[in-house]
Structure 1
């Protein structure tokens, strides 16, 4: 079985986890949890990633929980935290898990050095002591224990606000740590908003993050029906909060690409992700693009923004039979395709 570099570092310390009730959280990407089952009393997973939750739910010996808040149902002796890409998300997870599990809980933190895992030494000061336990292959593993009474965890205190100005109207974006565009509107989404054509009917905002694109569409075109989806539970919570805070209607739920989507749309629009942790990863977005025609109505359209170095134009052309670029700058491009072009190619026997 091939494990991530970080899991390989943890595997060097397997004896430390023997006969313990373990909770694994953070940037999880492999099935190393099943290895821990061989010697631990119990193995539990808390993840904000729906795809990973679905993957691990097939292992009956592991209790897997998906969400934005950990709901403690089992005895936990030790937390194994895989350091996330964003330092703010690591602080969020530590604060939440330690507050819920309480004084005395042990913490093992592992991560690639380039991810900023070394900052755990400063972040952990309010909870107790933490020490580097192992290092190899540009990764570090730390052990610590909460020896002080942790402060209560209040989710609302972790949202940050930033303004989104549209045609003289100011909306407030509410975002949790670890969510795309956390704290500021990214330039790719801004280019997409500047390029949007008039919209009507139903809209799917794929990879909605904190809800920037979906709420902007609903504000400009109030007669549209906007559905926002994301694989990340923190993004779903943020998008819901953004809608609530601005008193704007919309539907938001978690979906692993199209896994939870049961209807078709007139428009599929978004700024799809291309990273898994620190790595460039195409699979989810390519699955999204390949499946888009099946989730578009007959005259539906697809419009996404992406970094220009990504190979999406060829993939969209292969799927829809065409791809237009209505706008671009030095870093980003807008890609547009229509369901009618896809149907034309199918009727004429083209390979799409």
Structure 2
């Protein structure tokens, strides 16, 4: 066995109902005195509650999917005008993404408080959209210094969004098993993440107030993000980033729909990963386990339900082909990719 693995430097504080206390302690360690709090309007109540004792210099709420470049620029200007010395982001992937965009040019440290299972808070990956093209990159300066995980903050996250966000986390796990920098460490994290998500998501679907289910899902989402942050973007994420940026599709739902189709493509020629996923799902095959979970939680099924039109598929294929990772287990052809996207658009069973 021979590999190189790099762990990202980050503090993680995990504990239900402890967000406000943990957040204050982390900002004290940073000696922050003028904090920029980024939270979308729908997260205002949570953000106000957990930041009420902080030295807040600026509350910023212009958050948009896929971090449009003009939104990022306005947030950077606001941070500079407020002389902010730290950022607290409270919300999902779009909120964390905006905080990263600000940190990318200002160098301000971030303390992230996630309210979904997006996982962006545990990676050094940033993304911004210019027009209809989403650009991503990796820079250690955007990695939050600390992450405060409090599952009680997820209790108000609607079940439908919880399921889509959780499946987005599951996509991080599965894609990590054949991503460009896959190694035994991130593979182990990914498989444990699958086990936790497979346990937690059905509990939330059955009882949205189940703190145990929320904690298992949040734990799995963190492991998924760490694995993804190390392994890099595989085919699944390349597809979804193109679709999201080009057609402004909702991030979590797009990942939830595309995932089984990419798994069906790759699993037959990735025997070891397929076996480990099947064990994590406690199913005869990885695809059977994923499909069983999706049925139990009423997962999103078709991209056309989220605004993608059939006429847009050929252009999507053209945009995806140049960014397909050479390391993908199954060779990706134009015809194969077109069939995969059509099945995901239509919502048919993965083949």
Q: Same fold (TM over 0.5)?
A: no
TM-score of the two chains, using structure 1 as the length reference: 0.30
TM-score of the two chains, using structure 2 as the length reference: 0.31
The structure carrying a bigger strand percent of its residues is 1
Higher RCO (CA < 8 A, seq sep 6+): 2
The structure carrying a bigger helix percent of its residues is 2
